[in-house]
Structure 1
Amino acid sequence: MSSAVLFDFCGIIAREENFVPYIVWTNWLCGFLYLATAYGIYREKKWTLYCLVTALVLLVTATTVLIIHIKNGGLYEMKTLGAIAFRTALTALFTVLTPKFIKR
C-alpha cells in the first residue's frame, strides 16, 4: 500500500485524503527491513536484530514527527495514529523476542 501511495499507482493518491508522506516513506522502508528480518530469523542470523532495531528507531522517529506535525496543525487521519502505534508496538515486541529465536 505504501508503494501505491508513494508512486501513485492507479491514481490512489486521489483516494487517500490526508496522508503524511514521512509516515508512508517510513512504512515503505520498514517493509524491506521486515522482509530482511524474516529471512534472518529463518537463517538464524545475528544481524536480524539490527534490522529490527533500525525499524524501531525509524518508527519512533516517525511517531515523533507525526506528533509534531499534528501539534502544528497539519492534516492527518486518526487511522494513521492507530497504525503507527500498532506497528511501533509490534516491532518493539519482535525486537525483544527475536534473540530467543536465534541460537547462534
Structure 2
Amino acid sequence: TLHYLFALLLAVFGLLTLFLTTSILFDLFGVREQEGNYVLTVVWANFICSIIYLIASYGFIKKKEWTFLLLSLATIILISAFILFAVHIYYNGVYETKTVGAMGFRISLSIVFTAISFYYIKNKKTIK
C-alpha cells in the first residue's frame, strides 16, 4: 500500500542524508573537500533530520500518530537552520550557492512528507 511506499522513500532520503552529512562531519571519502564552503549549522540540522526521517519511516510502516510530530519537528529544524543560514549570508559568511536550493528542496520535501503523514496516518485515525 501507499504508506509502505512513503516509508521507503523517506528511509532512502534519510539514509542518503545520513551518508552525506556524516561524510562531511567526519571527512569521509573526500566529500568535505567536494562540498566546498559548507555551513556547519546546516550540516548538523541535516544530520539531525536524517535520524528523524529514519525513525519516521518506521512510524509510517506502523502507522504511528507520532510520525506527524516527528516530521513537523524536522521541518521546524530545517526552517530554523535556513534562517540561521540567511543570517550567515547577511553577515558576509562564505557559503555555496547550491546550499540555498538544497535547503529549499529539503524544507519542501519535509513539508510534503509531514502533510502525507497527517493525511494517511493522523487524519485517518480520527475518521474511523
* Bin for the TM-score computed over the shorter chain: over 0.9
The answer on 1:44 being equivalent to 2:63 is yes
CA distance, structure 2, for counterparts of residue 26 and residue 95 of structure 1:
17
2:80 to 51, 61, 84: 61
Percent of aligned pairs sharing the same letter: 37
Q: Supply the RMSD in Å over aligned alpha carbons.
A: 1.2
- 1:21 corresponding residue in structure 2: 40
Unaligned runs of 5+ in 1: none
Q: TM-score, normalised by structure 2?
A: 0.76
Moved more, 53-62 or 88-97: 88-97
Please identify runs of 4+ aligned residues in structure 1 that moved more than 3 A: none
Offset, 1:12: 3.2
The answer on 1:31 being equivalent to 2:68 is no
- The structure carrying a bigger helix percent of its residues is 2
The answer on 1:78 being equivalent to 2:97 is yes
2:31 to 5, 9, 12: 12
Could you give the per-residue CA deviations for residues 48-80 of structure 1, whole angstroms, max 9, x where no partner exists? 111101101100100000000001000111110
Moved more, 6-15 or 85-94: 6-15
- 2:117 corresponding residue in structure 1: 98
Secondary structure at the aligned position of 2:29 is classed as helix
CA distance, structure 1, for counterparts of residue 37 and residue 96 of structure 2:
6
Offset, 1:11: 4.0
Secondary structure at the aligned position of 1:9 is classed as coil
CA distance, structure 1, for counterparts of residue 84 and residue 106 of structure 2:
15
CA distance, structure 1, for counterparts of residue 111 and residue 33 of structure 2:
33
Secondary structure at the aligned position of 1:35 is classed as helix
